[in-house]
Structure 1
Amino acid sequence: MTEEARHQRVFVAGHRGMVGSAIVRRLTSLGYDNIIVRDRQALNLLDQAEVNAFFAEQAIDQVYLAAAKVGGIHANNVYPAEFIYQNLMIQANIIQAAHANDVQKLLFLGSSCIYPKLAEQPMREEALLTGTLEPTNEPYALAKIAGIKLCESYNRQYQRDYRSVMPTNLYGPGDNYHPENSHVIPALLRRFHEATLRGDQEVIIWGSGKPMREFLHVDDMAAASVHVMNLDTPTYQEHTQPMLSHINVGTGEDCTIAELAQTIAKVTGFEGWLGFDPSKPDGAPRKLMDVSRLASLGWSASIGLEDGLRDAYSWFVEHMNEARS
């Protein structure tokens, strides 16, 4: 990474979210001194005119597009219209404004849910658009697929350098611990924490416990994002097919939900029984990323699951009031 790169004006969209805040932490630790952020009150990413005016004013060099409406199975089932509309609008507004204001480098952050429900495991980048999506989060997945194709289209038509990374399931500091709208790790960390405080003898987990999932600490995701953004163009193009397409980001290892729950029980000190409710949806049977492409580009995850869960749990305990809202 050059000294010139550290002085570029870098806009992190979604800096208050778990991923965006981790990217800001990563850039700051590397000595970046021109990081640009705006909260929702200062910049409405759903408003095309506001976004265009912001880019016209700021002379931005790089964009990390981490802003998104996110949630777990329940939230995706209950609010499908909001998930597809808001994500489509945020992505389209930022990518078009970046192009219109001659921003050459942008990194779009997607999701592993872009792949078909029954994709061959581990899921390779080439699996995109080869089968039916998981119904519970299809609107969100379609929006993320559109983001990839936006980047590819601007690259092809205007020779931009807009890259896409597809993370596996993320967790860590800054996660959403809402009792209904959170993902599996924050939901279970909160549930086990509260059960331990109450002295409960049992915790019931949604689903059968059999589905397998891969989990990546958000600080690893931030490190991977900065790594991919700063690869020189020939190196990046050599390892992506088609040119400037998306790259999976994950650990390359997975576990069952039951095994995850057992580890979270250990981390939170819960000593009771674990039960499962098979009447609740399981989602896809397995979601493991093939991360060989990213490995060939010189990056691999470094934070193990138990260590990462301890870090996430410490953050939750320290930020209890804001995490619960």
Structure 2
Amino acid sequence: MTKDSKIYIAGHRGMVGSAIWRALEALGFTNLIGKTSKELDLRNQQLVTDFFNNEKPNIVIDAAAKVGGILANNENPYPFLMENLQIQNNLIDAAHKADVQKFVFLGSSCIYPKFAPQPLKEDYLLTDSLEPTNEWYAIAKIAGVKACQAVRKQYGKDFVSLMPTNLYGPNDNFDLQSSHVLPAMLRKFHEAKNNENASVTLWGSGTPMREFLHVDDLAQAVVFAIENVLPEYLYNVGTGTDVTIKTLAETIQNTVGHNGAIEWDSSKPDGTPRKLMDSSRLRALGWEPKYTLDMGIQNAYDWFQSHQEDYKTVKL
């Protein structure tokens, strides 16, 4: 691989894809390719095949997916299953047929069984049943992992899958109807601070524990994967540490400078008590996350403040 190797990043406008683009640009890679969904519908097999035949990329990074929270997954099972299968299958198959030698597939920790032991190890894949509310997305991602493994096993190509923990950072989704817990809290505390430090109501008891990884750390893991030949087909990517939702809320509150009360609505569900990933397999090879949670939240909040025009003020 050289600095002018042609690297196609599918989903380059999203939080993950844009972070990977920034990381590669910063390292001096000069031949990056990105297509918007209007320019290239990844669900269309013929269009994807034509794109690969014309562009002939050396490396492919699949950061494209139909994503959403629990509610969206639960209410739209068919598109979350089918569209994700279409996107990744078209990319993997076209890359294989175009003789791409290095492919990085990005998934999610939801591929692991709902009641798997903590921390989650790569070996727990397909050992038990999934979380029912997002099994449609998870099944699609598992299919992608196994497809890459099959290409690797049968044809000896360097197709590898990275499974990140909960991500956050620049270009995150701060829409309160569809965002994940960390960006939703950032926005809620920001709005409350600007509303005379009004109280902030959060779901559940605050006791569940979650792990959070800054998206730029995931981007560096992707860079690591394309700069090295990794011996296994599947790697978890996380910090190896988790915090309670209560601690997360207090950290965000301090970062934002909100001085009001936090109220916990115990009538709302807590979700899984704990979700921590074992990332020792990748870390043993030399990758390490750089962001502490405090640093990462400050970075994400700075980005949010500089993009406030994209978000209408919510009524608390």
Range of TM-score over shorter length: over 0.9
Unmatched 5+ residue regions in structure 2?
Answer: none
CA distance in 2: counterparts of 1:280 and 1:81, whole angstroms: 26
Which residue of structure 2 aligns with residue 321 of structure 1? 309
CA distance in 2: counterparts of 1:75 and 1:320, whole angstroms: 24
Which residue of structure 2 aligns with residue 289 of structure 1? 277
CA distance in 2: counterparts of 1:80 and 1:321, whole angstroms: 32
2:257 is equivalent to residue 274 of structure 1: no
The secondary structure found in structure 2 opposite 1:144 is helix
The secondary structure found in structure 2 opposite 1:5 is coil
Q: How does 1:177-188 map to 2 (within 5 A)?
A: 177-188=174-185
Check conservation: 1:175, 1:323, Cα contact below 8 A: no
Q: Note the C-alpha offset of 1:200.
A: 4.3
Which residue of structure 2 aligns with residue 50 of structure 1? 47
2:164 is equivalent to residue 176 of structure 1: no
Q: Note the C-alpha offset of 1:75.
A: 2.3
2:145 is equivalent to residue 157 of structure 1: no
Which residue of structure 2 aligns with residue 114 of structure 1? 111
Among all aligned residue pairs of Structure 1 and Structure 2, give the percentage whose two residues are the same amino acid.
52
Q: Normalization by structure 1: what TM-score? A: 0.93
Q: How does 1:59-208 map to 2 (within 5 A)?
A: 59-208=56-205
The secondary structure found in structure 2 opposite 1:198 is coil
Q: Note the C-alpha offset of 1:71.
A: 1.9
Q: Which region of structure 1 is more displaced relative to structure 2, 148-157 or 77-86?
A: 77-86
CA distance in 1: counterparts of 2:130 and 2:246, whole angstroms: 24
The secondary structure found in structure 1 opposite 2:291 is coil
Q: How does 1:298-309 map to 2 (within 5 A)?
A: 298-309=286-297
CA distance in 2: counterparts of 1:10 and 1:30, whole angstroms: 13
Q: Note the C-alpha offset of 1:81.
A: 2.2
Unmatched 5+ residue regions in structure 1?
Answer: none
Q: Deviations over 1:70-121 (max 9, x none)?
A: 2222322232222212211110010011011111110000111111111111
Q: Deviations over 1:156-182 (max 9, x none)?
A: 222221100000000000001111111
CA distance in 2: counterparts of 1:321 and 1:255, whole angstroms: 31
CA distance in 2: counterparts of 1:122 and 1:324, whole angstroms: 38
CA distance in 2: counterparts of 1:80 and 1:189, whole angstroms: 28
Letter in 2 for 1:85: M
CA distance in 2: counterparts of 1:278 and 1:70, whole angstroms: 27
> How well do the aligned residues superpose, as a CA RMSD in angstroms?
1.4
Runs of 4+ aligned structure 1 residues displaced above 4 Å come to none
Which residue of structure 2 aligns with residue 25 of structure 1? 22
Match of 1:10 among 7, 12, 26: 7
Check conservation: 1:64, 1:107, Cα contact below 8 A: yes
Count of paired positions: 313
Q: Note the C-alpha offset of 1:324.
A: 5.9
Match of 1:264 among 252, 259, 271: 252
CA distance in 2: counterparts of 1:126 and 1:278, whole angstroms: 35
CA distance in 1: counterparts of 2:256 and 2:71, whole angstroms: 24
